[in-house]
Amino acid sequence: MKLSKGKILLLFDKIKSRFIEELSSIPDFALYHFSLKSKVKQPTIVFAGTMIHARIPRMARALKDSGAKYNLVLLCKKDKYDPKLSNDCFDKIELFKNKWGVKRLVKQYDSNLTVFHSFGPPYGAANIVVRYAKKGKTIFDYQDLLLSNFELNPPFAYMRKDMIKEKYILQNVQGIISHSLELQLAKKLYGSIAAKKLFFPNYVDSNLFVSKKEPKLGSEIHLVYAGGVYSKHRNKDYFGGGQLHWLIEKLNKQKIHFHIYPSPVNLKSDLIDYYQLDKELPYFHFHDAVKQDKLAEKMSQYDFGILPFFHRTNKKSNYKRKYATTLKLYNYFEAGIPIIIGEDVDFQNYMGSRYGGSIKAKWEDFDDLKRLITEYKYEELIENVEENRKRLSLKSNIHKVLNFYEILS
């Protein structure tokens, strides 16, 4: 069987990551057993994630700006860390290569002055935090849950394995911060989840606010998408929602400009298709990834953000689209632009309506998107976003996270 260039690159990335992990395990095993126990002397928040989720540095900055007296530490897997997703708010960044590296760092920071604020999926770091932190408070912060993809019967062995960790974390962590409604399904299918819970739906970062210079539609319409995209060589049942080839082709036929800014952590193998389409189609523009704190400025030059997610594009459970959220929604509002949202993503449509800056679109609407757009007053959508994003900001709501840290025992 002939492998595509994308599949070869993906396979190479997996082999490289596994090789680094195995090679570094022996010295890190020794370091773990000979490392000293915690010497934490001041209140500390340890943000622990196998990868650097974009919401981690956003939350760190909001905590720093609030004046809270915490030392902020980031724990992240070395090959999953990208400076474009980080900022200068961490007092220390600790990068690990394998599970023994995480165990050593948890041991080093475990104290009654520590809050371990862990993130997932993936669950490598969060699982070790919840299992091995004995003195510090433990929190699990999620935006997505694996369970919501295929419920209890995922078609992938790695996902079945990670769902064991997911269930353990949810049932043993002290506190859960939910950015979406996916915990509803977890309580139904995993059983009792006794942890204290805080609903905290991402919010916008007021430090990143940009206002549109010309809040009017021009003769040509420009849409923008920011976030992960996937190549056609990926499994459509799982990755179909991020395979945006169908949308690129539809918009090009309608002479609507479509701009994509991929995630900084997107695998190179997933970008090959899009670079090729950029060369072939005059109305499609594929840009380089940009730092989180520059993204709003880039996107503010366009007319609409877009969340083009529908049931029919993949075989994930309908619960995923019903309950899920995405940071993209808030990135668009930070840029001061309204959003066109596929009708199947219920919670995202609800949040878009709270900001008063969204248009719900049916699948058929994408065959003639200009018609749908003209049904709305663009200037009014812009005004709603400008007004409501002040109230629904991280700055106005970060006290809820600080209070949550305090109530955990």
- Beta bridge partners of residue 258, listed in sequence order: 223, 284
CATH topology for 207-391 is Rossmann fold (3.40.50)
pLDDT tens-digit series, residues 132-169: 999 999 999 999 999 999 999 999 999 999 999 999 99
Sheet with 137-142, side-by-side order of all strands: 92-96, 71-77, 44-49, 114-120, 137-142, 175-178, 196-199
Residue 45: the pLDDT is 98
What residue segments make up the domains of the chain, in order of their start?
A: 17-203+396-407, 207-391
DSSP states along 199-255: E----B-GGG----SS-S--SS-EEEEEE----TTS-HHHHGGG-THHHHHHHHHTT
The pTM of the full predicted model, rounded to 2 decimals, is 0.90
The span from the CA of 233 to the CA of 3, in Å, is 9
pLDDT the model gives residue 7: 61
Alpha helices, DSSP H, located in 35-152: 55-65, 99-109, 124-132, 147-150
The CA distance from 191 to 193, in Å, is 7
SS3 62: helix
- pLDDT at site 198: 98
For the chain, which ranges sit under pLDDT 50? none
Q: Which fold has domain 17-203+396-407?
A: Rossmann fold (3.40.50)
**DSSP assignments along 277-290, one per residue:** HHHH-TTEEEPPP-
Q: Which two tokens stand for residue 287?
A: 């840009």
* pLDDT computed for residue 166 by the predictor: 99
Contact 134, 84 (CB under 8 A): no
Domains 17-203+396-407 and 207-391 share a fold: yes
pLDDT digits (tens, 9 = 90+) for 98-116: 999 999 999 999 999 999 9
